[in-house]
Structure 1
Amino acid sequence: MQFASDNTAGVAPEIMAALAEANAGPVASYGADPLTGAVVEHLREIFEAPQAAVYLVATGTAANALSCAILTQPWGAIFCHRNAHIEEDECGAPEFYTGGAKLVLVEGAHAKMDPVGLRAAISHTARAGVHNVQRGMVSLTNATEAGTIYTPAEVAALSAVARDYKLPVHMDGARFANALVSLGCTPAEITWKAGVDVLSFGGTKNGCMGVEAVVIFDPARAWEFELRRKRGGHLFSKHRFLAAQMAAYLEGDLWLRLARQANAMATRLSAGIAAMPGASLTHPTQANEVFAAFPRASHRALQAAGASYYLWPFDQSLDGPDAEPLAARMVTSWATTEAEIDAFLAHLG
């Protein structure tokens, strides 16, 4: 009953096999190998963006921080939701890699910015000229940290606000596949066709060992990314091992199949929790994260049975009245089984 994070899941067998295959014989380094070139072309095809620049890095933090660095200056503001991953979980990496850009936090229900709130935040910024941080860029997370999803229309509405102020838009897609299969749209429709300039395309949370792609829809920004990636220590010499993962991830739409499994298990878990007396969902379940509150006694029973998940927020205590509801986050993965879900629900009830 492992629901702490999709990061705890192992590597999908197809991807592990691709890594072993890539290990045979010498191959050109630093991305000059044929497999990297094939990955670039495959991602361009998937996104209907033949001119896009595509680069691989090993972590989502690197993908996000380097993306922000090519989109804003050190004196720029990065407008994002208060619960965005770049705000809550990246230890100041965007600020570090941009050389000092400031995260300006925008409110919104279920971890989603809304156009009115975004416009208010942008218009409030730089009112005193040189004395203020300047308007820099917009970053949104899809799927969000609350497990919710921006639709193409919602992305387009936020992008339209950004364009009114001539600001570029970044999408943190660590769980991009989970969002995409839930929406049923094309990758292009949720990214550049909706106004996104740069996408962090996740692999690690969805069955890869450690690889993310940065898809830059305006190739004019590509050279700066290459320089920043090298200067920041994220250009792998044995680059084929990143490319091998991404190639297998994309082959035969494996990335979509893995995400569908994770989402289906979250839906099963969410429905089961919602049907329990004294339990309720705290955010809609739209991808592979379930946020719910249920009695403290149920939490004790689950944890005694070995269930792994997080109280959300962390500072809640298992000491106290049995009936009091405590909120929690459960995350499913490509490797989650129906048996795990059913065992969790049995202990919950």
Structure 2
Amino acid sequence: MISNTLQSVASDNNAGVHPRILQAMADANQADAIAYGDDPWTKALAAQFQALLGPDCRSFPVFLGTAANVLCLQAMTQPWEAVICAPSAHINRDECGAAEAVAGRKLLTTAPNPQGHGKIFPRDIEPLLGSRGFVHQVQPRVVSITQSTELGVCYSLDELRDLADFCKQHDLLLHMDGARLPNACAALGCSLKEMTADVGLDALTLGGTKNGMMFGEAVVVFRDDLAAALPFLRKQGMQLVSKMRYLSAQLLELYGTELWLENARHANAMAAMLAGRVAGVPGLEFVHPVQTNALFVRAPRPLLARLREEFFFYFWDDGASDRPVARWMTSWSTSQEAVQRFVYRLEAALQG
């Protein structure tokens, strides 16, 4: 038997699977069920998403977040069209060029804006629209944002509405990478529908893995033309799950109950607790506001090295700096005791 004693504040991906998700998979493991999504769980999930997000949405369960993003962007664009995103966007930094290599869609990044904390605004997008109509350059078609951003910060509802209005005025489509959308909803106290359909979103990657599932995300679209293309793109993109009931059962347990919100609220609360405990530690500096379940902390390298001997975490902006930035993340399974152990270890590391 493998023994795992890892103590991690590196990522919510490192957390285990919520017991209710495991039970939902076990409950789905009964008798036979028609493959490729024609099963009761997938049909119930489609109805549940329409209840949550509005009757115009269509949902497509897939294995992976990267695949969900690629499928969304592929459905929203033609081969000569481009996607505008922030430099820090997951599709730009952390998906190994999948949007460009698999979908063949050029990414156009906005100018760096450290004060935006991963957010982009109409004023950032406008300079990238000058090539429209020029046959020698790709044509901007989609704006892709992340909620909450890769730096743990949330767009307000007004900011989302402003982006959606700008996109409509300029014949652009708006995509949201919602890998941590539940955390943003929990932070802002709003519903999934208020943050997606109601602000004018065209397509959404809705997360599950980071919020207690074993695997799986959902592609959700709010336009008939996108919905018509996605069954074929999903199959061609190797994301049409044969035994889809096990994927849909997880999503149904998460989003068919309040579990998505309970898990996100807990993760956010543990991050707030950790931030409160380390806020006064000498030598530590918060690089971004702590709004969800991520802390980005600049600290002396020797201190972080000592702390990392016991708790695994990532250096976010390492380079050759003697004060690199570390990312500390909490999850649905982070306990108050785990936060306390981390703080104790940090205090010990300060003593050398």
The TM-score range, normalised by the shorter chain, is: over 0.9
Matches within 5 A, 1:92-241: 92-98=97-103, 100-106=104-110, 107-108=112-113, 109-122=116-129, 124-126=130-132, 129-241=134-246
Q: Is residue 2:19 matched to residue 1:13? A: yes
**What is residue 2 of structure 1 aligned with on the other side?**
8
Give the aligned residue type for 1:333: S
Matches within 5 A, 1:24-103: 24-47=30-53, 49-98=54-103, 100-103=104-107
Contact 2:83 2:106 in 1 (8 A): yes
Q: Is residue 2:287 matched to residue 1:287? A: no
**What is residue 320 of structure 1 aligned with on the other side?**
none
**What is residue 313 of structure 1 aligned with on the other side?**
317
Residue 343 of structure 1 aligns to a residue whose secondary structure is: helix
Q: Tell me the distance in 2 between the aligned counterparts of 1:300 and 1:26.
A: 52
Contact 1:118 1:158 in 2 (8 A): no
Give the aligned residue type for 1:101: R
Identity %: 40
Q: Tell me the distance in 2 between the aligned counterparts of 1:97 and 1:34.
A: 32
Task: Give aligned pairs, total.
Answer: 338
Q: Tell me the distance in 2 between the aligned counterparts of 1:97 and 1:179.
A: 29
Contact 2:151 2:294 in 1 (8 A): yes
Displacement of 1:326 after TM fit? 2.7
Gaps of 5+ in 1: 318-323
Give the aligned residue type for 1:328: A
Give the aligned residue type for 2:313: Y
Displacement of 1:165 after TM fit? 1.3
Q: Is residue 2:270 matched to residue 1:265? A: yes
Instruction: Give the alignment partner of residue 242 of structure 1, picking from 247, 254, 277.
Output: 247
Q: Tell me the distance in 1 between the aligned counterparts of 2:126 and 2:163.
A: 9
Give the aligned residue type for 1:149: C
Contact 2:128 2:140 in 1 (8 A): no
Contact 1:80 1:138 in 2 (8 A): yes
Q: Tell me the distance in 1 between the aligned counterparts of 2:231 and 2:202.
A: 16
156-165 vs 207-216, which moves further: 156-165
Contact 2:65 2:207 in 1 (8 A): yes
Contact 2:318 2:324 in 1 (8 A): no
Displacement of 1:202 after TM fit? 0.3
TM-score for both structures, normalised by structure 1: 0.93
Deviations 1:149-193 (A, max 9, x none): 111111111122211210111000000100111011121221122
State the 4+ residue runs in structure 1 displaced beyond 3 angstroms. 314-317
Give the aligned residue type for 2:122: P
Displacement of 1:344 after TM fit? 1.3
Q: Tell me the distance in 2 between the aligned counterparts of 1:267 and 1:37.
A: 38
**What is residue 321 of structure 1 aligned with on the other side?**
none
CA shift in 2, pair 1:274/1:160, >3 Å: same
Q: Tell me the distance in 1 between the aligned counterparts of 2:308 and 2:264.
A: 27
Q: Tell me the distance in 1 between the aligned counterparts of 2:320 and 2:264.
A: 30
Q: Tell me the distance in 2 between the aligned counterparts of 1:275 and 1:327.
A: 17
Residue 135 of structure 2 aligns to a residue whose secondary structure is: helix
Displacement of 1:84 after TM fit? 0.3
Residue 154 of structure 2 aligns to a residue whose secondary structure is: coil
Residue 264 of structure 2 aligns to a residue whose secondary structure is: helix
Give the aligned residue type for 1:25: A
